[in-house]
Each structure stands twice: as C-alpha cells, then as structure tokens.
Amino acid sequence: MAELISTKLDPDSHLLLDQPLLRLPHELLRKNLKSAQRHIEIANKGIATSIQTLTTHSSPADTLAALDATLLKAQSLKRKLKALHAEEAILHRQQKARIAHLQELHDIPTIADVKYDVWAQTRLDRLLVDYLLRQNYLASARQLAEAKGIVDLVDIPVFEECGRIEASLRGVHGECGDVREALGWCAENKQALKKIGSILELELRLQQFIELARTGEMDKLMEAIAHARKHFVGGQDTLYGLRAGGLLAHAPNTMVEPYKTMYAPTRYPYLAALFLRTHHTLFALPAHPLLHTALSAGLSALKTPTCHSAHNPHRGMFSHQHSSDKTTSTMSRQSVPPLLTDTPVCPICSTELNELARGVPYAHHTKSYMEDDPVVLPNGRVFGRERLRGLNVKLGVPEGRLRDPTDGLGGAEWAWGEARKVFIL
C-alpha cells in the first residue's frame, strides 16, 4: 500500500461492481416490449380474420355477434397492454432510482468525504440483499431492503420468481421435483432461449420422459414414446432422442450407465442448477453473487501475513476453533490480552472475517510501511517512538520506564534506554 495514494475518486473504475445494476431493468423492459409485440400480433391476426369472416355473413344478428366478439378481443388486448404498461412504469422508476444512485457517486470528489461513506453503505446494503436473494433467503432480503429503503435498487421480484421455480424443480424434501413451472418459464422466454442455444427445455422434456418411463406401465410407456416423438425429433441434437430410446429398454433400477444417472433423483438438483445458470445468462446477471467478488478482492487487498500469524496482537476474541476433521467446531473465546493500543482493529483480524480470509492471498507491497522513528523493544516488538511514548503515558507507566503496550500492565518493564533505534528501509 503506497502511503501517498491520493484519495481522489475515479467514478468510472469504481463502478465496476455496479454494472449489472443498470442492466436488469433494461432487459426486463425489452422482455416487456416483446410480449407487447406478441400480444399485438396475435390480436391483429385475430381481429383481421374475424373481420374477414364477417364480410361473408349476411344476417345482421350474426354480424353483430361477430362484431361483439371482435370488440372483446380488442378490449382484452387493451387490458393486457395496460398491465404491461404498468409494469413498464415500475421498471422505469427503478431504472431512474438506479441511475440517480450511480449519479451520486459522480458528485463525490474524494473517498475521504462523508458522503462517500453514506454511498458505500448503500452499496453494501445492495450487495447484501443481492446475496440473500441468490441464496434463497427471500424473507430476510425483503425485510432488509425495506428497512434500508433500497427496494428500487434491487430486483426482488425477479429473484423471487426464480427462487420459486428453482424450488419447484428441487422438489419438496423426499419427493421428486416438478418440471411444469420451469417449462412454463421456458415457453415465455422461448426466443431468448433459442438465441443463446440453451438446452434447458430439452433437459426438462427428457425429465418428463424419464418420469413416464419410470412407472414401467405399458400405457405410460406409449405416452412416453409419443412425448419423445413430439419433442426430441427434428432438433439438431439427436442425442436426446437416442438417450430416450435407450432408456425405454432399461428398468428403473438398472445398473447400466448412463441410464442409472438418468433415473437417479440427483437429476433434479442438476436441473435446478441448470435453470439457475440459464436464468442468469438470460438476464445478464453475474453468475456469482457480487458480494463474493467484492469480498474476495477486499480481503486480499487488506490481508497481510501478520493477520493470521500466531504473534498477532490483534487477534479477535471469537475465533473458530477447527478440529482436524472439522466435525466439531466450537466458538470459544480465547483469552487474548486486552488490546491496549489504540489503533483500529484490522477487519481481517476481526472475528467476522478472520477465518474467511485464510484461503485468500495476501496483498502485494513493494515498500515498507512503518511508523515514524521506529524503535525496537527488548522483546522484539517495533513501535514508533512517539506513539510508544503516548501509550505509556496513557498506561500510567512512571517516567523513564517503558512497557510493551500489547502486554499491558502484566508485561515486562524496561528503561527507555533499552529501546534501540531500528532502521526499516
């Protein structure tokens, strides 16, 4: 860490973490537009055909009835469009809020500014809600978003729907999952899925096939064959058709691969994960929670080799004791000598993040960073002379005598002459 780093804020590079923020409303707006287009097309065709048939009718009653039907169609179109428009308005509002949030950053000149802290707090809240949503802790996410007033900055409805479908795929504990909701989602997003070449729908249809074949009953098997004919034929990927065919020849408790894995209930978690990946790709969401990215980068940048060393005087109280096989981990409180220096506790040394940071590489430095006028005590610790002096005064150590602040009042006492000047280049 270079000491003379300026605290100037470069907004563009700072916003790397916030890129996906603006994309999602945009993608949703596009989806909105496409459904509007679809509705209009359908209505267009419907109304045009009914008008067409009208001209062949002669009796006024029929004409009236047909006209009424046409009117109904037009009105339902209007209703659908109205709903879409309302959604659009919400999305616009969200988008505006997000742009405003990012705009705020541009108005903040330096990192040291108090406004930056406020902005950073909002950003952290946003990242937390995003993480909670992805891990399926939906109630907490909603509560936190409402408590902090950032409902517009996060995408709760999107994740709620995603979570619902994923949960249905995983199935209630002990039972098989349900592919119907996922299939419904696929139908809604057919074009987009085709554009990215997703195999999700094929996998889901295969799962339906497997379920039908699992029963082993003759009529179900015929249904399965019809199902396969409908869905697996004609695509460029003949693999599914082949696998489906082969499956029919094997009973559900077969030991033959790959049919054993196909029958296994572990397919459902696989489908759930596949759905999740596809969903995120479709909406341009990052695959991993942004919190992970920010935390990894931050942990690395802050970590020093001393954070996990045994000689660290700052080690927090609640460190997790891992036994060798990790089966018993108790949070025990180590008896750490009270921290008597007044430096703020490093976040990595704190209990929350200490274990997390163990696997992370530490930050690279090219220059030493040390307090002014360092002196070394007889026990090997190094302090800046002035700071050492100040701490000793606070401790109430008599004039001319010297203690190591990290040992506190229980440590050894020396004379000031025993502290030698040390040169850290």
Which is nearer to another protein, 260 or 420 (by Cβ)?
Answer: 420
Instruction: State the minimum distance, in angstroms, from the CB of residue 400 to another protein.
Output: 18
Residue list 151-180, contact with another protein (CB under 8 A): 173
- Kindly indicate which of the ranges 70-78, 179-187, 193-201, 215-223 contains the residues binding another protein, using the contact rule CB under 8 A: 70-78
What six digits make up the tokens of 29?
A: 């707006």
277 forms part of the interface with another protein (CB under 8 A): no
Which is nearer to another protein, 21 or 210 (by Cβ)?
Answer: 21
Q: In terms of Cα–Cα distance, which of 37, 41, 43, 34 is closest to 76? A: 43
Residue list 180-199, contact with another protein (CB under 8 A): none
- Candidates 222, 233, 317, 412: give the one binding another protein (CB under 8 A): 317
- Candidates 151, 408, 413, 414: give the one binding another protein (CB under 8 A): 408
Instruction: State the minimum distance, in angstroms, from the CB of residue 47 to another protein.
Output: 6
Question: What is residue 163's three-state secondary structure?
Answer: helix
- Candidates 218, 234, 253, 359: give the one binding another protein (CB under 8 A): 359
Instruction: State the minimum distance, in angstroms, from the CB of residue 314 to another protein.
Output: 8
- Candidates 294, 387, 389, 411: give the one binding another protein (CB under 8 A): 294
Peptide bond into 258 cis (omega under 30): yes
Pairing of strands 374-376, 401-403: unpaired
Instruction: State the minimum distance, in angstroms, from the CB of residue 182 to another protein.
Output: 20
Instruction: State the minimum distance, in angstroms, from the CB of residue 32 to another protein.
Output: 8
Pairing of strands 320-322, 329-331: antiparallel
248 forms part of the interface with another protein (CB under 8 A): no
Residue list 377-406, contact with another protein (CB under 8 A): 380-382, 391, 394-395
- Kindly indicate which of the ranges 183-191, 211-219, 242-250, 351-359 contains the residues binding another protein, using the contact rule CB under 8 A: 351-359
42 forms part of the interface with another protein (CB under 8 A): no
416 forms part of the interface with another protein (CB under 8 A): no
Which is nearer to another protein, 229 or 333 (by Cβ)?
Answer: 333
Cα dihedral: 247, 249, 254, 255 (round 10) = -80
Q: Is the dihedral of CA 80, 187, 280, 209 positive or negative?
A: positive
- Residues ≥6 apart with Cβ < 8 Å to 150: 122, 125, 126, 129
Which is nearer to another protein, 59 or 236 (by Cβ)?
Answer: 59
Task: State CA 190 to chain mean position distance.
Answer: 25
φ, ψ at 320 (rounded to 5°): -70, 125
Q: In terms of Cα–Cα distance, which of 394, 372, 367, 397 is closest to 383? A: 372
Residue list 83-142, contact with another protein (CB under 8 A): 84-85, 88, 92, 95-96, 99, 102-103, 106, 111-112, 120-121, 123-124, 127-128, 131-132, 135-140
- Candidates 361, 386, 401, 415: give the one binding another protein (CB under 8 A): 361
283-292 residues labelled b (16+ CB within 10 A) or e (exposed) = bebeeebbbe
Instruction: State the minimum distance, in angstroms, from the CB of residue 378 to another protein.
Output: 10
347 forms part of the interface with another protein (CB under 8 A): yes
Instruction: State the minimum distance, in angstroms, from the CB of residue 66 to another protein.
Output: 9
Q: Are the C-beta atoms of residues 55 and 70 closer than 8 Å to each other?
A: no
Q: Are the C-beta atoms of residues 316 and 339 closer than 8 Å to each other?
A: no
Q: Are the C-beta atoms of residues 328 and 266 closer than 8 Å to each other?
A: no
Which is nearer to another protein, 78 or 194 (by Cβ)?
Answer: 78
Which is nearer to another protein, 252 or 384 (by Cβ)?
Answer: 384
Q: In terms of Cα–Cα distance, which of 398, 396, 366, 370 is closest to 383? A: 370
Q: Are the C-beta atoms of residues 203 and 190 closer than 8 Å to each other?
A: no
d(CA 391, CA 359): 34
2 forms part of the interface with another protein (CB under 8 A): yes
d(CA 356, CA 360): 8
Residue list 208-237, contact with another protein (CB under 8 A): none
- Kindly indicate which of the ranges 149-157, 186-194, 241-249, 322-330 contains the residues binding another protein, using the contact rule CB under 8 A: 322-330
Question: Residue 227: enclosing H or E segment and its boundaries?
Answer: helix 218-232
Residue list 327-346, contact with another protein (CB under 8 A): 329-333, 335-336, 338-340, 342-346
Q: Can you give the C-alpha Rg of the chain in angstroms? A: 32
